[in-house]
Chain A
Amino acid sequence: MKIVVASGKGGTGKTMVSVNLAWAVSQSQETHLIDCDAEEPNVHLFYPGGKDEGPVTVKVPEVDSEKCTLCGACGEFCRYGAISVLTESVMFQAHLCHSCGGCMLSCPVDAITEVPRRIGMITRGEPTPTLTVISGILDEGEIAAPAVIKAAKEAGEWDGVSVLDGPPGTACPVIETMEGADVCILVTESTPSGLADLRRAARLTEAFGIPAGVVINRSDNEDSSTLAFCAEEGLPVLLTIPFDREIAAIQNRGAILCSEKEEWIEAFTQLYEDTVAIAGGIL
């Protein structure tokens, strides 16, 4: 069971929902919590102590200048302009490369091999005997977040329950996170931008064919537009969390709501049960 927590808009409370959901699930069964917001991973702030599991690398071409005849085939093939054949040398620009391997395949004299290039790292921790926390962390200055997300997902792959804390937006990092998910929890807040981004995120889960439900966070009881949208789209509202300075303070200092305030355990346990129901097409 892979549960992705996503939102479209940033800062709506994805990480808060993810860490509490994983906390609640892990009370009764083994759980994996995977931080897929590789650009700004925050789960490890709530569950510190993860150990370095090694680097994440991508494959990039290396040209053997002894063999290279400067024929230009690799540069003509590369659609991203990452490799260019110039007067006396072949120039490679790593930030343009998608690691497709096409330059190597198109070289007629086998002058190109692929070498690994580090772009980030994976950490793994076991804060409790039933909870494993895996984070994908993109190196500062690198751009290929999806490759790090993919590696984090692979590191956390298993048959049990995984909660994936997703990145904001609806572009490549979110696509990589949602790939293969069984169900998606969309966290929103009842503002026009929260709603606009919820709509975008809902369109994405629809494109993937992933069943989804909604958590309304920081509610001030003015949720009518969000509720109307959810009703229209057939998205069940699974949980409403009120705006509350105390909840904000707990979150701000990196603590877990469920372990600080017992009344939330039931809410997040119920959230898990309802999410499983959605995944099974019941809700």
Chain B
Amino acid sequence: MKTIAVMSGKGGTGKTMVAAGFSVFSDEKLLLADCDVDAANLSLLLETSNTECRPFMGLECAAIDQTKCVGCGICQVYCRFSAISQGDDGIFCINPLKCEGCGVCSLVCREGAVVISERQSGEVCRSDTPHGPLFHAELFPGSGTSGRLVFEVKKDALNDEPNVPAFLIDGPPGIGCPVISAISGVDAVVLVTEPGISALHDLRRLVTICRQFGVQMFLVLNKADLDEERAEYVRRYCADEKIEIIGTIPFDPAVIEAARRGESVAGMDTPAAESLKKSWKALSAAMGISQ
């Protein structure tokens, strides 16, 4: 089984549209994962059913037992995350949005007044789709550890159904923790970009990360006709970097139209669908994914 992640650096370049399109155009079912855990939207474009979720326990969180606290404030002095504050009433309390559960407060408290306990930070879910099982997650807004949740989504996916030709991951934007977590162990990355100064800048940073991981790269150029000059720049960049462009998608209002109906544009007879189909064929041929 080949593992392929769809990534972009910059958000909103069309990762989810590409991932959903690939799953539709694959003749065989695939294993699917939405690893953009704090803005998970792949399920909005695929027909999902039988969704089952399990809790995701993130970083632990401290709490102060007010019956034991003597108000010395040493916990606040040692907390590196500014998570402990003293209210006007003199009471020390923990801000769960800032607490990273390190346990230093509990280490320095002489009264044993700090309790560290686990907390739920989100959910890991499995849904059926017509194109194979989809693993996705919901990170509770304000929770940290999105990188670990990405890891959990991938782990659940891999434990589920390895008898498919490919494991397709809709990746997160950026180059930080969740991206590193998503990219580890993949065979290839499909870079989705658009012809704009920001997207190109972010693409370069992501390519640096992909090189560090030694993964094969392919590129899909989305909304190519919005700026021909920069589209040409992307082509030259790919030639220099020896990244194969597997597809060029024109700006197509049908993409938004399909999304509003909760569908992938792949099901429509439009230029974007045609380009996505060609892109998938080129990718599956290059990666030896059976058709």
Contact = CB atoms under 8 A, between A and B. Distances in A.
Nearest to B175: A39
Nearest to B223: A248
B146 A169 contact: yes
Contacts of A179: 97-98
A98 B100 contact: yes
Contacts of B178: 171
Contacts of A252: 194-197, 226-227, 230
B180 interface: yes
B60 A9 contact: no
A203 B260 CA distance: 22
Interface residues of B, number: 62
A245 B226 contact: yes
A171 B142 CA distance: 6
A39 B206 CA distance: 10
A245 B227 CA distance: 9
B201 A45 contact: yes
A200 B175 CA distance: 21
Contacts of B202: 40, 42
A106 interface: yes
B174 to A, nearest CB: 3
A222 B226 CA distance: 21
Given A12-B12, A98-B102, A171 B260 contact: no
B208 to A, nearest CB: 4
B147 A170 contact: no
A77 B260 contact: no
Contacts of A189: 12
Interface in B181-215: 194-198, 201-202, 205, 208-209, 212
Given A79-B102, A168-B174, A193 B259 contact: yes
Contacts of A173: 174, 176
A125 to B, nearest CB: 16
B158 interface: no
A10 B102 contact: no
A201 to B, nearest CB: 7
Most chain A CB within 10 A, of B172, B197, B253, is at B197
A39 B174 contact: yes
B102 A102 contact: yes
Interface in A77-100: 77, 79-80, 95, 98-100
Given A77-B103, A252-B195, A172 B146 contact: yes
Interface in B34-73: 36-39, 41, 44, 60
Most chain B CB within 10 A, of A38, A191, A220, is at A191
A179 B82 CA distance: 11
Contact of A207 (B41, B141, B197, B230): B141
A179 B81 CA distance: 12
Most chain A CB within 10 A, of B11, B41, B176, B212, is at B176
A11 B262 contact: no
Given A45-B197, A105-B104, A11 B176 contact: no
A123 to B, nearest CB: 14
Contacts of A143: 147, 176-177, 180
A208 interface: yes
21 contacts: A12-B11, A45-B201, A77-B107, A80-B102, A101-B78, A102-B102, A102-B103, A168-B39, A168-B174, A170-B139, A171-B139, A172-B145, A179-B97, A191-B259, A191-B260, A192-B260, A248-B227, A252-B196, A252-B197, A252-B230, A253-B227
Interface of B: 9-13, 16, 36-39, 41, 44, 60, 78, 80-81, 97-98, 100-104, 107-108, 139, 141-147, 172-180, 194-198, 201-202, 205, 208-209, 212, 226-227, 229-230, 253, 256, 259-260, 262
